[in-house]
């Protein structure tokens, strides 16, 4: 053959026809797999139910496993490393209300037994100190197996200046 004959040779392209045979064969394969799996139930039920249990277990592990980046870490109030003699301000760790107050008591354990349902207790002198009030830390008390749970503070400003009381250390920032 010469070069001319090679270049003049034309390809005959047939128009595309819809492909139905592979789809039908895929459906047949799936049908065969399902029927062989169901026949396994009759011939060897231990393997049949073991395979179902394995699939269920795999789905549970995947769904309950979670990821390390899927949830943000929880954040909350942080206990500062307070030092005696330093100045801090009162900030209620559990209140979102800016007018919330911090309770000062005469003994450290009294905070746990505190109930302010009485109106007279709410209006007591220098018991409920506004947030942001500057205080100085005088000493600490341990409780519940944790060190520095309570701090004795002296109020440095306002109408209660010079008064001392115990507050939760987490309420001092």
**Spans of the chain below 50 pLDDT:** none
Quick one: pLDDT at residue 96?
Answer: 80
How far out from the chain centre does Cα 50 lie? 35
3-state helix, strand, coil split of the chain in percent (to 5) is: 35, 20, 45
Give pLDDT, residue 136.
95
Q: Look up the CATH architecture of domain 87-171.
A: Roll (2.30)
Q: What is the pLDDT of residue 152?
A: 93
For the stretch 7-47, pLDDT in tens is 555 555 565 655 555 666 777 888 888 888 788 888 888 98
Among candidates 150, 157, 151, which has minimal Cα distance to 138?
151
């Amino acid at each position: 053959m010469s070069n001319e004959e090679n270049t003049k040779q034309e390809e005959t392209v047939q128009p595309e026809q819809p492909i139905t045979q592979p789809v039908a064969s895929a459906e047949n394969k799936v049908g065969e797999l399902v029927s062989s799996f169901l026949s396994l139930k009759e011939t060897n039920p231990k393997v049949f139910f073991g395979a179902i249990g394995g699939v269920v277990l795999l789905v549970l592990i995947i769904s309950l496993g979670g990821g390390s980046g899927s949830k943000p870490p929880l954040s909350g109030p942080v206990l500062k490393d307070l030092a005696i003699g330093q100045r801090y301000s009162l900030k209620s760790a559990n209140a979102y209300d800016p007018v919330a107050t911090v309770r000062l008591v005469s003994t450290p354990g009294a905070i746990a037994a505190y109930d302010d349902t009485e109106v007279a207790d709410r209006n007591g002198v220098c018991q409920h100190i506004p947030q942001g009030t500057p205080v100085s830390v005088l000493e600490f008390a341990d409780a519940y197996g944790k060190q520095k749970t309570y701090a004795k503070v002296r109020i440095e400003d306002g109408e209660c200046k010079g008064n001392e009381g115990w507050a939760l250390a987490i309420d001092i920032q």
